[in-house]
Amino acid sequence: MKYSHKFSDAIHIMAYLEWQKGGDLSSKAIAGSVEANPSVVRKLMSDLRKAGLIQSRQGVSGAFLTREPQDISLLDIYEAVDMDHNLLHIDTKTNPKCVVGANIQETLNQAYRRIQKKATDEMAQISLQDILDGIIARHNAKKTERTN
């Protein structure tokens, strides 16, 4: 099973843009933080730009957030990224002659829609600032551990 990292990478890019404001914001520098190819970073930044979350100019190194981090939710970022937005997926190949196989797909679809709704509602409540605050807190805790 292959997992997509687009969402977490897009959040990473947004956090990096805010954290490194005024620093090296080239796709190469961002790719170094994400540990991805710069072309992957440019594609994600294109998605974020199309969604109006960042502003940048083609051919010019750097980008910036168009809103304050507390005004950007994880749902905003999730919806901006070009990917399959279903968190859970159903096996579409089941035996229609079996009671379970014939009925599991729609039954799971109903359950998965409820789960998806709760997940997106929660994403709407978490801001990019919350993520940045978590990064800072973890960074400071690690610094404290090293000094003790």
Q: What is the mean pLDDT of residues 87-115?
A: 93
Q: Is the pLDDT of residue 3 over 80?
A: no
pLDDT score for 86: 86
Distance CA 138, CA 63 (A): 25
Q: Across-strand partners of 56? A: 63
pLDDT score for 84: 82
Torsion of CA 121, 125, 129, 132, to 10 degrees: -60
| Residue type for position 8 | S
Q: 3.40.50.300, 1.10.10.10, 1.10.287.1080, 3.40.50.2300: which CATH number matches 6-147?
A: 1.10.10.10
pLDDT score for 2: 65
Domain chopping of the chain, boundaries: 6-147
Distance CA 118, CA 73 (A): 15
pLDDT score for 61: 74
Q: What is the mean pLDDT of residues 80-87?
A: 88
Q: What is the mean pLDDT of residues 33-50?
A: 95
